[in-house]
Amino acid sequence: MQPLPPAQLYDAIRSRHGHYCPMSTLGGRMGFAGRRRLGDGPLRGEYLLRTCAVEGIAVATGCEEPAGTLRVRDAGRHVLLLRCASGAGFEIALRPATLELAWRYRHLDEALESERAALAPAELARRTRDKDAFLDGLLARLRALPEDELLDIRPLAADST
């Protein structure tokens, strides 16, 4: 079984991103999986959809948009293309079942936000607690599941640049 990312990774993602969320956590898992395979040297990456996952990827890989080592392209896919200086690399994609887990929270959050103004204070407080409890459980699950249950990882063809 592959090692799980350290808890410090998620704390660093939260510090950068401002809160814990499923997609930044999954970005951290994607970046950690790539970093583990490609070593400690400099990496360059491309993520194919602008989401909170970008923050987790940046923390886990050290790749940064301002530095030009991380490119984000809105191609509509939760896929990270990650390479090291030698040109070796991996395509790391979120599995459909993984995305379904993240979407459950997003739907819960969107429903609460769309109904917020019409909710009595007690109901709003209850629903907020329920949403927060759901998030806590989901984050624990996303952090603990084995890589092969969350991600599809395949080598990229060698890159000579």
pLDDT of residue 4: 87
pLDDT at 161 over 60: no
pLDDT at 63 over 60: yes
Amino acid in the structure at residue 61:
T
Residue 146 lies in a domain: yes
pLDDT of residue 60: 97
Structure confidence at residue 160 as a pLDDT band (50, 70, 90) = low
Distance CA 29, CA 23 (A): 10
Q: Cα dist. 84→19, 26, 37, 140 in Å? A: 29, 21, 10, 30
Residue 123 lies in a domain: yes
Residue 160 lies in a domain: no
Residue 109 lies in a domain: yes
Question: How many domains is the chain partitioned into structurally?
Answer: 1
Q: Which domain holds residue 83?
A: 7-155
Average pLDDT over residues 43-66: 97
CATH number at residue 128: 3.30.1330.130
Residue 126 lies in a domain: yes
pLDDT in tens, 3-50: 889 999 999 999 999 999 999 999 999 999 999 999 999 999 999 999
pLDDT in tens, 90-124: 999 999 999 999 999 999 999 999 999 999 999 99
Distance CA 118, CA 102 (A): 26
Residue 151 lies in a domain: yes
pLDDT at 158 over 90: no
Distance CA 113, CA 72 (A): 28
Residue 115 lies in a domain: yes
Residue 1 lies in a domain: no
